[in-house]
Amino acid sequence: ILRIEQLHPFPINEVRQALEQYGAGEILWVQEEPWNQGAWHYVYPRLSMALEQGQRLRYIGRPESASPATGNYKIHLAEEQEFLNQVFASHQPRVRPARRNKEQGVES
């Protein structure tokens, strides 16, 4: 998890350096605000310039909305839980089924 505290001026060099450690794969921008609000549209082109080769950027958060909140606390919590589930589901380690070495009877 990388948290960007200062959006302007955008710390491109610091972000680029931080993203280097992750290698190829998906980089997620997660925000609580709806897609058409919050920082996504400002940071998208800037983060795109900071990506390493093989990295791709994806938004996770609430869908587009005219209001910054649902107005219902239970719905708010359900939406928040849904996008957090998306975040952690996309970074689950891939488990390879164990195989037995017939000669040694050892799992690899």
pLDDT digits (tens, 9 = 90+) for 25-54: 889 999 988 999 999 999 999 999 999 989
pLDDT at 92 over 60: no
Please, which contacts does 5-10 make with residues 24 or more away whose CB atoms are closer than 8 Å? 7/39, 7/42, 7/43, 8/42, 10/43, 10/46
Q: Cα 25 vs. chain centroid, distance in angstroms?
A: 11
The confidence score (pLDDT) of residue 91 equals 60
pTM (two decimals): 0.74
CA–CA distance, 78 with 83 (Å, rounded to integer): 9
